[in-house]
Structure 1
Amino acid sequence: MMKKTDKAPISRRNLLRSSGVAVAAVAAPTVIPSSALGFGGFTAPSERITLGMIGFGLMMRGHFSRNLGDKSVQILAVCDVDKKKREAARDAVNQKYGNNDCACYNEHEKIMERGDIDACFVITPDHWHVPISLDAIRTGKDVYVEKPMSLTIREGRLLADTARRHGAILQVGSQQRSESSFGKAVEMVRNGWIGKVHTIYARLGRFPDGVVLPEQPIPEGFDYDRWLGPTPWFPYNANRVKGNYGGGWRSYWEYGARKNGDWGAHHYDIIQWALGMDHSGPEFFFPIGYNGSEYQGYKYKNGPTIYRDHPGKFGSMIEFYGDKGSIGVGR
């Protein structure tokens, strides 16, 4: 039995009656922006792909601007060994989103430590492609990496096997496959328009040879040791780290595969596609002078021979020659 001094049990109704102010606060209408719900042309935050973007050189410009303008993704972090570049990228992201949320890192490992980032763009010099992509995949992230995917065949096999083992999405920047003219040429070759293909010419050109460079002072805010990464040490010189298409780091085997890994990553890919050889490859490669050849190239077993930088007939990037005709594509 209850004593007169005992308090009556608090019912839900009594609680509500005695909490009028609190109830009013709870019952007040809450305004939720349409953007948070995915209305009005916006993608809800829960549906956006969150990105970490690594390497702010020439090739990143297009990727950065397109992703920054894409409502279905959100850039959470940027990374570069050059302080000026990464801070400029961070400021651009914050200005676009109207906040100060974008993180800015010198070390790519700090992006990998974050569980709120879904995928990474790896747009560094070639020698960093595989190490950074491996770190991303092993920490549960998907990867877009610029071509060439790897600096060596062994590296490429390692990255492909790791992506498969972890169930990661790994996309390589072979945009030439998306260009309609190359797709049409491939369609014609694969459908026998020029008959059995016996010879293919691919125009790659060449970068200037790498030369010994004098040592220069390392600019303030530039982490040269991290730029070198797994490669041998050489004195800093601005031309060594430059990312232009007239040479720069692309002229040195330590950092890139020269033109074979540059235009070759595009043209040889189209050739593989046209011949239905995506899951196989050539029988052997040959240098200039092999059996008297004036050109470098390779040959498929029971298939065509590919010559690099042969003048061909059309002056095209790629020329296919069959027993019924020929096709040239790209200028």
Structure 2
Amino acid sequence: MKRREFLKRSALMGLGIITAPTIVPSSVFGKNAPSNRINIGAIGCGRISRTHDMPGVWKYDNVRIVAVSDVDRRRLDDAKKLVENYYTKKSGKPYSGVNTYEDYRQLLADSDIDAVLISTPDHWHAKQAIDAVYAGKDVYLQKPASLTIEEGRKMSNAVNATGRILQIGSQQRSMEQFRRACELVRNGRIGKLLSIEVRLPGDPAGGDPTPMPVPTGLNYDMWLGQTPSVPYTVDRVHPQQGYGRPGWLRCEQFGAGMITGWGAHHFDIAHWAMGKEYSGPIEITATAQFPSSGLWDVHGDFQSEMLYDNGVVVKGMVDGPGKPNGVLFSGTEGWIFVSRGRYRASASDPVSDASSGGPLAASDPRILGSVIGEHEVHLYKSDDQHGNWLECIRTRSLNIAPAEVAHRACTACLLQHIAMKLGRKLHWDPRTERFRNDDEANSMLSRPQRAPYNF
């Protein structure tokens, strides 16, 4: 699909003129018809892949996970067993048809694979997505879209150039309360939108930087990828026993911390409610606390503020007492608050029930009961994030969270991260994706790339 047509369809969808297709029951295709089956390869077989991404697709009858890839041999073998045991239990017959690849590029070269799940650390997301679409694969990509804004732009351009279906794992778009909140805001149920508060979890400092021997079976050099070579320590990578929350999430070398880790979800919802999914802020300020010791160096408590060209101010902060995790929309005639409630993508999600708000609330209960009229804005409806991706692979339709939307949400997060570092107001041009008259800030749109894993 050409970029112009892509944007046109997106605009029409926002107006409710185009609706999402419904998942077609397996009985329509013939449950066991190989020609109708989508063969999936899973790249990255850690916590989020095992508990969220692979289960999100293997439940569909016309999908089969046929291959797994990971640079850690132990996790690779575990993933093969996990998938084969699932299909054995589901079919009642022994199943052993999952191929393993230590190098994801070999998986991409497998012509039997139609699409891939990418569930790797953040620094690999954009590179692997680009490689996948140019290999002719459709992609489900874990958020955030990229480590830097420049990488995200390259990723979105590659998807547009190849016409592949890429969907970001911003599953809040497929939760009814988030779509409902955004529709109510879009249709003026709280009057003119004035501000949005985005409340994210915090990340503790710590981590042991003491170098350790690289575990047998881990290709640590490839795990580091295009980032600088640094000594191995388990707190920098992932647990060697079990699948708890990995340390790389708290290392800036591999990601920006919660500003992208959860910000990619919540700031995307802010964009959806404003109709700014293909744009971004024009002014950004932020302050943050950064650890002074230990291995983990991502931001802690922070305050940010972004101004959009519609006059809306979007504020970011760490959740806490009186400020539960979620998104608060404030307008001239009331407010709406939305959150995940008790939903968890994995058991180790860093948000407790105590810090979570209810899934949907408003200043006046009548706001939530308001009916969206036939000629008002109806947003794209999806009831299942992975299922929507699979359906759009079949129909070649625009999915609920496409590459450009993912890139713009991630950009808003990374702009705040840059502002945290510089400690001054930044002026951004969403059209050119450059800072205005600020060479220092523009130098932070990309990072050096280590060969041979560079883009």
Relative to the length of structure 2, the TM-score reads: 0.60
**Identical-residue share of aligned pairs (%):** 38
CA deviations on 1:106-141 (whole Å, 9 max, x unpaired) are 100111111111111100000011111111111111
Partners of 1:106 and 1:133 lie apart in 2 by 17
Q: 1:91 to 1:288 in 2, by over 3 A?
A: closer
Q: Give, as a single letter, the amino acid of the residue that structure 2 aligns with 1:329.
A: V
Verify the 8 A CA contact 1:53 1:79 in the aligned structure 2: yes
Aligned pairs (5 A) from 1:141-180 = 141-180=137-176
Residue 42 in structure 1 maps to residue 31 in structure 2 = yes
Verify the 8 A CA contact 2:70 2:76 in the aligned structure 1: yes
Q: What is aligned with 2:324?
A: 315
Q: Secondary structure at 2:311's aligned position in 1?
A: coil
Q: Secondary structure at 2:221's aligned position in 1?
A: helix
Q: Paired residue for 1:72, among 39, 62, 68? A: 62
Verify the 8 A CA contact 1:185 1:327 in the aligned structure 2: yes
Aligned pairs (5 A) from 1:128-277 = 128-209=124-205, 213-242=209-238, 248-277=247-276
CA-atom RMSD, angstroms?
2.4
Q: What is aligned with 2:364?
A: none
Q: What is aligned with 1:324?
A: 333
Q: Which runs of 5+ in 1 are unaligned?
A: 1-36
Q: Paired residue for 1:60, among 32, 49, 71? A: 49
Q: Secondary structure at 2:152's aligned position in 1?
A: helix
Residue 323 of structure 1: CA displacement?
1.1
Verify the 8 A CA contact 1:312 1:319 in the aligned structure 2: no
Moved more, 244-253 or 61-70: 244-253
Q: Give, as a single letter, the amino acid of the residue that structure 2 aligns with 1:93.
A: V
Q: What is aligned with 2:82?
A: 92
Moved more, 41-50 or 161-170: 41-50
Verify the 8 A CA contact 2:208 2:233 in the aligned structure 1: no
Q: Give, as a single letter, the amino acid of the residue that structure 2 aligns with 1:100.
A: S
Q: What is aligned with 1:27?
A: none
Q: Secondary structure at 1:154's aligned position in 2?
A: helix
Q: Secondary structure at 1:120's aligned position in 2?
A: strand
CA deviations on 1:84-110 (whole Å, 9 max, x unpaired) are 111122233344253433211110011
CA deviations on 1:39-77 (whole Å, 9 max, x unpaired) are 996230111001110111111022223433322111221
Q: Give, as a single letter, the amino acid of the residue that structure 2 aligns with 1:63.
A: D
Q: 1:246 to 1:299 in 2, by over 3 A?
A: farther
Q: What is aligned with 1:51?
A: 40
Residue 304 in structure 1 maps to residue 312 in structure 2 = yes
Q: 1:210 to 1:159 in 2, by over 3 A?
A: farther
Q: Secondary structure at 2:328's aligned position in 1?
A: strand
Partners of 2:138 and 2:82 lie apart in 1 by 24
Q: 1:191 to 1:214 in 2, by over 3 A?
A: same
Residue 212 of structure 1: CA displacement?
6.5
Verify the 8 A CA contact 1:209 1:252 in the aligned structure 2: no
Q: What is aligned with 2:287?
A: 288
Verify the 8 A CA contact 1:55 1:123 in the aligned structure 2: yes
Moved more, 201-210 or 41-50: 201-210
Q: 1:297 to 1:80 in 2, by over 3 A?
A: same
Partners of 1:100 and 1:295 lie apart in 2 by 51
Verify the 8 A CA contact 1:295 1:309 in the aligned structure 2: yes
Residue 302 of structure 1: CA displacement?
3.8
Q: 1:121 to 1:171 in 2, by over 3 A?
A: same
Q: What is aligned with 2:389?
A: none
Aligned length: 291
Partners of 1:51 and 1:281 lie apart in 2 by 33
Verify the 8 A CA contact 1:201 1:312 in the aligned structure 2: no
Q: 1:66 to 1:211 in 2, by over 3 A?
A: closer
Q: Which runs of 5+ in 2 are unaligned?
A: 1-25, 89-93, 289-301, 340-356, 358-455
Q: 1:38 to 1:295 in 2, by over 3 A?
A: closer
Taking CA–CA contacts closer than 8 Å with sequence separation of 6 or more, which of the two structures ends up with the larger relative contact order? 2
Residue 186 of structure 1: CA displacement?
0.8
Moved more, 250-259 or 57-66: 57-66
Residue 297 of structure 1: CA displacement?
2.1
Verify the 8 A CA contact 1:207 1:250 in the aligned structure 2: no
Q: Secondary structure at 1:59's aligned position in 2?
A: helix
Verify the 8 A CA contact 1:196 1:324 in the aligned structure 2: yes
Verify the 8 A CA contact 1:206 1:259 in the aligned structure 2: yes
Residue 233 of structure 1: CA displacement?
1.2
Verify the 8 A CA contact 1:316 1:328 in the aligned structure 2: no
Q: Secondary structure at 1:296's aligned position in 2?
A: strand
Q: Give, as a single letter, the amino acid of the residue that structure 2 aligns with 1:85.
A: R
